[in-house]
Structure 1
């Protein structure tokens, strides 16, 4: 198969989408001729993804006679084709959807929080799958073709795109879309929904109000960001929160939140703003608390340094399989920043107070462990569970060594 890819201009929006206009489009609810007309009209406007009003105006300017209902439907379809996921867009907008995966034209899967299920969405053929992947990459300001057969980018709405084409994917293009939804639930709602045991609500509230430094851990899709946002809602309203994320997911119910989002490099390899840059910059923005949405690389060094220089009450999330595995995860991440193991242990033990570990089982996401962070006599970093819960329907949580001392220290705050 010959290369049919395209390179973007580095600015997500219609300018990059127009580059891919010559590629075959998957079937959608809008005729190819009308879509091309709308693309041309929008391409003459300002840069950036068009909103519904701009798309609707372009549709009306095309000269077609459209009723109000038809205009709404066509506007949605046009936006999906121009700046969204085309025929996959309705799946992404479905309630509770976390992932949409395309393994082939007749092999589309969706996860609504209860595991993967095959979808009835079909694409015409393998060429249509590749064309869709190429177009979404262009909209995201990235490149996908034979010379650059893998892309990891974000669509304008924040959806995470990972796609591969031949020769990396010999059977044809594959697409993985991860939906990022802003987390807005508060702590009482999580308790009422069975994600947090009622016995732990007072402790969690005390940890936040007492300005403990918290690390929220768990696997993919366990609800780390949701719990983090709920905890931020407990922060007193007179405090200034600085949140640092790859793409904004945190939307805490709080009056003073300054959100910073990382920026990927464009196709020329310039313009990148990393999480490390943002954490370092956040220190100069008069924060009362610094919050790192997800710690996944060398930015862990900046986080530990911040939490060790008077910026208490900070929070972050980290992927880990269990609370006991957090030391190994921190060491691996800090190694990317050149930190030796003893320095990681000393810095983490001084910076972190409590680890909150989440699990997901049978579609249920719940807080499974509350653990204390300490430096062992051997100089090793230890994360010791103080209480464990097996989730909804399993009975109450089990207290372990250190639980009572943790409750005495933090619940009264």
Structure 2
């Protein structure tokens, strides 16, 4: 994206935003971008004599924008920063603006963040220790670090400033947010997941929630080191993926479902064709043969919507070996179950729930949402036939994420789906605010062990807590 387009998306004036209802149709981006001259003519008015920091920042920023070559490629970050630095020093000298070294550095970094990044959020995005950034209006910003929430002394200038940053995020993706479509899912260039909600739905101003994408994705070794899962359970999950079992990863919001899905997907052989389907692309696969599909909301005329359900149906015509759906949350559950039951073994998805049993209940409810008027027993038979394993993860009281259940879906007894816990988390206490416990085998062997062994995989009995002398 050229610097001109980036500036016009992120630096539009308050009057422009009000005329457009706070957001634009992303697909119309080229036509709605005016010339650089028009952008400068509509720049926010400032009062140089006021002497406030905001006026100084705006005045220097506008003059800097007027001096920058609009054809500059902002993807060359180091070169652009160098150019901005030179022009910045020149403008301060021409206007006889005297600042201390810390003030000069602060002003330069804030202006650069406005031009190249997401303004006040840029330092937070660069902090690898943060997992979530939550903007509750212009003046209230919170972060999550190690599972705990903290308020940070970072603010936007106004709600309009927040709206400009939100529009900068969603517009390049062909999405929009305004009064007629007041919420949107999106992603940053690095893959971080973004959700935005604006008035009139939000009563506290524009809301922005960013689930950060780790620059160095968590590895399976780190997952074991953090205590999220044991080496034995991870070895079992690896065998299940390689043996092409259908797996649902469940848990609450922020429990680490997508992280676990990413790690488990690394066990998929490199010679298979994988299709990923998501609302906002978030799954990170390292295999070479991966096709990524992303749903799309309706445009301003209410047309052009592409749902997860439609993508799942279409994916069956794309010769997938495995289908990975980022999250099942509606009637797409029926199509996912159908795909799992029609030869696409080894598929994976995530779902929000409180326990493995609740996961199956939610799948049943979501399937009923499809409106196919199916008998409940038929739906349950579909679920028990399609899903082999539920891996449930929770965010604990101390902020840690732990796999708490690995549960086999073993079949039907009458009208009830039967399950068997293969691993279950056992808490033994608290120590210095940290939860002490371990994911332990229950001593039961899953019924699908024959399928694992047919794939040439041999698991030692000790994985299931069975004594070495016992045979299975």
- Normalising by structure 1, what TM-score? 0.80
- Cα deviation for residue 191 of structure 1 reads 2.4
**TM-aligned CA deviation for residue 51 of structure 1:** 3.9
| Deviation larger for 370-379 or 287-296 | 370-379
Aligned counterpart in structure 1 of residue 197 of structure 2, from 160, 163, 170? 163
Q: Which residue of 2 aligns with 1:393?
A: 436
**Cα deviations across residues 175-203 of structure 1 (Å, max 9, x unaligned)?**
33333457844434422432211221331
Relative distance call for 1:261 and 1:376 in structure 2 (3 A) is same
Q: SS at the partner of 1:222?
A: coil
Q: What corresponds to 1:370 in structure 2?
A: 406
Assess if the C-alpha contact under 8 Å between 1:322 and 1:357 holds in 2: yes
Q: CA deviation at 1:83?
A: 7.3
- 1:86 corresponds in structure 2 to 119
Whether the 8 Å contact between 1:372 and 1:386 is mirrored in structure 2 is: yes
TM-aligned CA deviation for residue 249 of structure 1: 2.0
**Rg: which structure is higher?**
2
RMSD value, Cα: 3.9
**Structure-2 change in CA distance of 1:276 and 1:314 (3 Å):** same
Provide closer, same or farther for how the CA distance between residues 122 and 403 of structure 1 changes in structure 2, counting only shifts above 3 A: same
TM alignment of 1:182-201, pairs within 5 A: 184-201=217-234
Q: What does residue 183 of structure 2 align with? A: 151
Q: What does 1:134-145 align with in structure 2 at a 5 Å threshold?
A: 134-137=164-167, 139-141=169-171, 142-145=175-178
The partner residue of 1:8 within 15, 24, 27 is: 24
Decide whether the 8 Å contact of 1:386 with 1:403 is kept in 2. yes
Shift in CA distance, 85/383, structure 1 to aligned 2, threshold 3 Å = farther
Task: Say which is worse superposed, 52-61 or 265-274, in terms of deviation.
Answer: 52-61
Query: Residue 135 of structure 1: CA displacement?
Result: 4.5
8 Å Cα contact 1:327-1:382 kept in structure 2: no
Q: Report the counterpart of residue 220 of structure 1 in structure 2.
A: 253
Write the mapping of 1:241-260 to structure 2, written as runs, cut at 5 A.
Answer: 241-260=274-293
1:222-237 correspondence runs (5 A): 222-237=255-270
How many Å apart are 1:10 and its aligned residue? 2.1
Partner of 1:110: 143
Superposed CA deviations along residues 129-167 of structure 1, whole A, max 9, x for unmatched, are: 24322551365135555x4372223254254132222x4
CA distance, structure 2, for counterparts of residue 94 and residue 57 of structure 1: 22
Distance in structure 1 (CA, Å) of the matches to 2:419 and 2:401: 22
Q: 1:312 aligns with which of 345, 355, 361?
A: 345
Superposed displacement of residue 92, structure 1: 2.6
**Which consecutive residues of structure 1, in runs of 5 or more, have no partner in the other structure?**
none
Query: TM-score by structure 2 length?
Result: 0.71
CA distance in structure 2 between the aligned counterparts of 1:29 and 1:403, rounded to whole angstroms: 66
1:349 paired to 2:384? yes
Out of 381, 384, 393, the residue aligned to residue 417 of structure 2 is: 381
Relative contact order, higher structure (CA 8 A, sep 6+): 1
Aligned match of 1:274: 307
